[in-house]
Amino acid sequence: MRNKGLFFLLTVLIFCPSIIWSQEIRGLSFVGTRDRVSKENLIPVKKSAANWVALMPYGYMKSAQTPMLSYNVSWQWQGETKNGIEQAVPFFQREGISVMLKPHIWIKGGVFTGTISFDSPEEWKQFQESYRKFILHFAQVAEVTKIPMLCIGTELQSIVANNPEYWRQLIREIKQVYTGKLTYAENWDQFQNVPFWDQLDYVGIDAYFPLKTASPTVTILTELWKPYVQNLKGFSEKYNRKILFTEMGYRSINLPTSKPWDYSLRDQPFNGQTQADALEALFISFENKSWWAGGFIWKWFPDYANSGGTLDTTFSPQNKPAETVIERYFTNWQ
């Protein structure tokens, strides 16, 4: 009987591989390492009960009006390059942790990628060709390293609006070199304007939805989530695609949910409990929703011992009360 059961399970996995996607994605956005990934970097990831990580190679632009991307250059951190991705992926695979490859653009000075724009059709074409080479390059990396999911862009609203057909053609080209699942990461206030969700496997959203309250308790935040939950459910049904939070998280400050995307609030006192409560409210609002695929916590640093902590007000949940919340929910989702 045991052999028959094992044979049945192997048959299902071989002929119905989609079964491995039935679990919610318990993900961490794993920041690129300065050098090489080591086994020690994975110990805290395993402890968190994460079953996915997002690895993020970078292409760089000198300004939002520079039509060329630079990538795999000598001054980049190892984890942001092709070589770094290829070195890191086997470590996660050996631990049973799946990878989403999520190439990002970084504009000098931290300029928002949604503002990329050009003055002439020639510059637009130059940028589109540069981005095409960038994303196809990493699509091939994802295929060779057997990465099961690729995110084809992050918060590129101005580029999407400029030429939707460019994206449809790009997706067709990606599918010629990459056989895994596809998503795109759009911001919480722009995802409804993306015209190519029907060509992808997941609706990817960077979930910085504003929950405006002076008292960010779990109860109040859960109530504020309800209209968004209903809207996302309808959007998922419209496109027959699950919603994936390609980024989700909060800073450890007093009011982290009013403008979750805001990095500009520098001189804020540390408040680890509000960060933890905000994540708990998110998990309560979306757990067990059949149309929600899960998501990736923004963000997780490889140097665990020196990351987060009670002097850190960034998005990192490490060595803060939020980490306990993540571990509890991720464990229960297994």
Q: What residue type is assigned to position 133 of the chain? A: K
309 CA to centre of own chain:
23
Domain boundaries, the chain: 23-332
* Cα gap 253→296, rounded to integer Å: 20
pLDDT tens digits for 95-136? 999 999 999 999 999 999 999 999 999 999 999 999 999 999
Q: pTM, whole model, 2 decimals?
A: 0.93
What does the pLDDT look like over 145-192, one tens digit per residue?
999 999 999 999 999 999 999 999 999 999 999 999 999 999 999 999
What pLDDT score does 229 carry?
98
Give per-residue burial for 133-165: e unless 16+ CB within 10 Å, then b: ebbbbbbebbbebebbbbbbbbbbbbbbebeee
pLDDT tens digits along 6-33? 443 333 343 333 333 447 899 999 999 9
What tokens were used for 277? Answer: 């409560």
Report H helices in the chain: 2-15, 39-47, 82-94, 121-144, 157-162, 164-177, 218-239, 272-286, 321-332
171 and 152 Cβ atoms separated by less than 8 Å: yes
pLDDT given for residue 16 in this prediction:
39
Q: Which residues pair with 25 in a beta bridge?
A: 294
Which of helix, strand or coil describes residue 128?
A: helix
Task: Tell me the per-residue pLDDT of 204-226, one tens digit each, with 9 for 90 and over.
Answer: 999 999 999 999 999 999 999 99
CATH class for domain 23-332?
A: alpha beta
Distance (Å, rounded) from C-alpha 260 to C-alpha 252? 10
pLDDT confidence of residue 173:
98
Mean pLDDT of 307-319: 96
- Per-residue pLDDT tens digits for 36-56: 999 999 999 999 999 999 999
* Residue at token pair 């724009």: 117
* pLDDT score of 334: 65
